[in-house]
Amino acid sequence: MSQPQVFSGNPLDRASSERRDRGWIAEQLEREESRFLPYWRLSVLVKTGIPRELGWARNDLCDNKAPGSEVVLLGLREGVAHFALDVSGLEKPEVALGLSGLARFEEVRAVATQLSAPECAIAAQGRALLDWHARHRFCAVCGAKTTAGLGGLMRECDECDAEHFPRTDPVVIMVVCSEDTCLLGRQAAWPPDMYSALAGFVDQDETIEEAVRREVFEETNVRVGRVRYYASQPWPFPSSLMIGCLAEAETREISVDPEELQSARWFSREEVAKALAEPGGGGLTVPPPMAIAHHLMRAWADGEGV
């Protein structure tokens, strides 16, 4: 790929060694140089000016945070600790933090293409990690409360001492090709004429290639042979890794599973190339460049094969 995928390219050193020291973390929380990125109900603080930039704050701004707000260490940059701070308990966060007119909370996916690539990746990391903490307040082993550890990299049960770590869900997403056509599918909730690459979660004890073949067959009844990895993309909604592949079809007859897709069709290389070059031009609409599906389609339209 000529450029990194949206949400990738995080510049922070995740400080795997330093975060083991609780005293060091406590010291960083008090340092004036440390930076804090507030989130409100998973929306990230972004400055209102141009260019768009994340609303990094000093620790004194965080004195107005709601009780029980989660603070997690994202990492280090040039020796400075960067944290994500959950202020979801505030009713009017911009007012409570004294930021009215200076910054506002925006949904990460909506603002992603307006931020620089490094800041976009940081925003994704913070969103995914805070979302995980919100979903894992209680132990999956015994049901007791859990407490954050390692600067927010894990949670530990207060009763049975079980350790819980954030998980990334692997998802295969693939453009299936057959000579000069490719197989795309659509869901009923999508805009008219929009089609995208097929996708699905990787099952337990399954390779990427096996997941591609299984998902394509389950959704469309098309058999797949060769599979080639292309690129991957973090997708923090809530916490997935999209594993992009190009796959070669062995059969062409389509029988759609209505539980998975509304429809699936074979599209010519010319149709896909036109949809990529003329967004909304009619006939076929494809995902925007922020999605790895867009780049998989472009790779195939440009002649890349399995």
pLDDT tens string, the chain, 306 residues long: the values are 556 799 999 999 999 999 999 999 999 999 999 999 999 999 999 999 999 999 999 988 777 676 678 899 999 999 999 999 999 989 899 998 889 999 999 999 999 999 999 999 999 999 999 999 999 999 999 999 999 999 999 999 999 999 999 999 999 999 999 999 999 999 999 998 999 999 999 999 999 999 999 999 999 999 999 999 999 999 999 999 999 999 999 999 999 999 999 999 999 999 999 999 998 777 899 999 999 999 999 999 999 988
141 half-sphere exposure, CB direction, 13 A CA radius: 11
pLDDT the model gives residue 281: 76
Domain membership of residue 31 as a residue range: 18-135
Q: Are 275 and 285 in contact (CB under 8 A)?
A: yes
Say if residue 174 is in the same domain as residue 129.
no
- 9 within a domain of the structure (yes/no): no
> Is the domain of 282 the same as that of 179?
yes
For residue 146, tell me if it sits in a domain: no
Question: What's 81's domain CATH number?
Answer: 3.90.79
Would you say the C-alpha torsion 41, 123, 168, 248 has a positive or negative sign? positive
Residue 104 lies inside a defined structural domain of this protein: yes
Q: Is residue 306 part of a domain?
A: no
Give the domain-ending residue among 109, 135, 161: 135
Per the CB < 8 A criterion, the answer to whether 250 and 302 are in contact is no
Q: Which residue from 103, 83, 84 is spatially nearest to 93, judged by alpha carbons?
A: 103
Q: What pLDDT is attached to residue 283?
A: 86
Say whether both 180 and 104 belong to one domain: no
* Residue 51 preceded by cis peptide, ω within 30: yes
Q: Are residues 111 and 201 in the same domain?
A: no
In 16-60, which ranges are continuous DSSP H helix?
Answer: 22-30
Domain end point (choices 135, 159, 191): 135
Backbone angles phi, psi at 69, to 5 degrees: -65, 135
Q: What's the Cα-to-Cα distance from 109 to each of 143, 194, 216, 272, rounded to whole Å?
A: 33, 19, 27, 24
d(CA 298, CA 277): 10
If one counts the domains in the chain, the total is 2
H helical segments located in 233-291 = 269-277
3-state secondary structure (DSSP) of residue 254 = coil
Instruction: Give start and end residues of each alpha helix (H) in 136-279.
Output: 208-220, 269-277
**13 belongs to a structural domain:** no
Q: Are residue 294 and residue 210 in the same domain, yes or no? A: yes
Does one domain contain both 173 and 293?
yes
- Scored b (16 or more CB within 10 A) or e, 75-100 reads bbeeeebbbbbbbbebeebbebbebe
- Among 61, 9, 17, 15, which Cα is nearest to 35's? 61
Asked if residue 8 belongs to a domain, the reply is no
Give the pLDDT confidence score for residue 86 in this predicted structure. 94
User: CA–CA separation, 128 vs 84, rounded Å?
Assistant: 11
Report the C-alpha gap between 126 and 88 in whole angstroms: 14
Short-list 250, 291, 280, 287, CA closest to 112: 291
Pairing of strands 80-86, 35-40: parallel
